[in-house]
Amino acid sequence: MSRIITPQDFQFRTIPYEHQTVAFERSRDKPDYAYLMEMGTGVSLVQYTLNDLLYFRDAKTYEIKTGSKLLWGEDIRGKIPLKAKDLSPWNGIRFLLRRPPGLNACFSHEFLANAPNEKEKEAIYTECSRVYLDGGALLTILLRNYQPSFLERSKVMTASLATALPDLAEKIPNLVEKVVFFTNLKLSPDEKKYDAIDPVKLWFETRKDLGIILRYFMEHQLGEKAEGWAELFDRYNTRMDRDFVDELAYFYLKKRFKIASKPLARLANIAYQRLFCLKYVSKLYKLKRIFYWRALTEFPTFEVNTSALMLLFSLNEDGTLDRDLFDSFVKSLSRIYPVKIEGSTDEELWEEGVNACVKADRVFLDTVYGWG
Q: Report yes or no: 51 and 78 within 8 Å, Cβ to Cβ.
A: no
Read off the pLDDT band of 32 (50, 70, 90).
very low
pLDDT at 34: 37
DSSP string of 173-242, one letter each residue: TTHHHHHHHHHHHHHS--HHHHHTS-HHHHHHHHHHHHHHHHHHIIIIIS----SSHHHHHHHHHHHIII
Q: What percent of the chain has pLDDT over 70?
A: 87
In this structure, the chain runs to a length of 372
C-alpha 132/C-alpha 137 separation (Å) is 9
pLDDT at 201: 97
Asked, for residue 187, whether it belongs to a domain, the answer is no
Close Cβ partners of 304 (under 8 Å, ≥ 6 residues apart): 101, 333, 336, 357, 360, 361, 364
∠ CA 174-302-367 to the nearest 5 degrees? Answer: 125
Read off the pLDDT band of 31 (50, 70, 90).
very low
Q: Report yes or no: 140 and 147 within 8 Å, Cβ to Cβ.
A: yes
Residue 42 has pLDDT above 80, yes or no: no
Q: What average pLDDT score do residues 35-50 get?
A: 56
Residue 23 has pLDDT above 80, yes or no: no
Which residue type does 265 have? A
Q: What average pLDDT score do residues 196-214 get?
A: 97
Q: Any bridge partners for residue 11, and if so which?
A: 42
Is the peptide bond preceding residue 16 cis, with omega within 30 degrees of 0? yes
C-alpha 87/C-alpha 58 separation (Å) is 7
Q: pLDDT, tens digit, for every residue of 176-191?
A: 999 999 999 999 888 8
Asked, for residue 280, whether it belongs to a domain, the answer is yes
Q: pLDDT, tens digit, for every residue of 55-95?
A: 888 888 899 999 888 988 899 999 998 888 889 899 899 99
Asked, for residue 64, whether it belongs to a domain, the answer is no
Residue 215 CB burial class (10 angstroms; 0-12, 13-18, ≥19): middle
The reported pTM is 0.86
Close Cβ partners of 156 (under 8 Å, ≥ 6 residues apart): 140, 143, 145, 147
Q: pLDDT, tens digit, for every residue of 86-143?
A: 898 998 999 999 999 999 999 999 999 999 999 899 899 999 999 999 999 999 999 9
Read off the pLDDT band of 369 (50, 70, 90).
low
Residue 27 has pLDDT above 50, yes or no: no
Q: What is the mean pLDDT of the chain?
A: 86
Q: Report yes or no: 161 and 168 within 8 Å, Cβ to Cβ.
A: yes
| Counted domains in the chain | 1
Of 2-11, 92-101, 351-360, which range is least confident? 2-11
Asked, for residue 97, whether it belongs to a domain, the answer is no
Asked, for residue 57, whether it belongs to a domain, the answer is no
Asked, for residue 63, whether it belongs to a domain, the answer is no
Decide which of 238 and 12 is more confident. Answer: 238
Residue 312 domain boundaries: 230-372
∠ CA 151-191-69 to the nearest 5 degrees? Answer: 35
Of 27-41, 244-258, 260-274, which range is least confident? 27-41
Work out the number of other CB atoms within 10 angstroms of the CB of residue 168. 20
Q: Report yes or no: 295 and 363 within 8 Å, Cβ to Cβ.
A: no
N- to C-terminal Cα separation, the chain: 25
C-alpha 175/C-alpha 177 separation (Å) is 5
Classify residue 223 as left (phi > 0), alpha (psi -120 to 50) or beta: left
Q: Report yes or no: 237 and 218 within 8 Å, Cβ to Cβ.
A: no
Instruction: Count helices and strands (H / E) in the chain.
Output: 16, 4
Work out the number of other CB atoms within 10 angstroms of the CB of residue 191. 7
Residue 16 has pLDDT above 90, yes or no: no
Q: Report yes or no: 355 and 308 within 8 Å, Cβ to Cβ.
A: no
Closest CA relative to residue 108, chosen from 199, 233, 16: 199
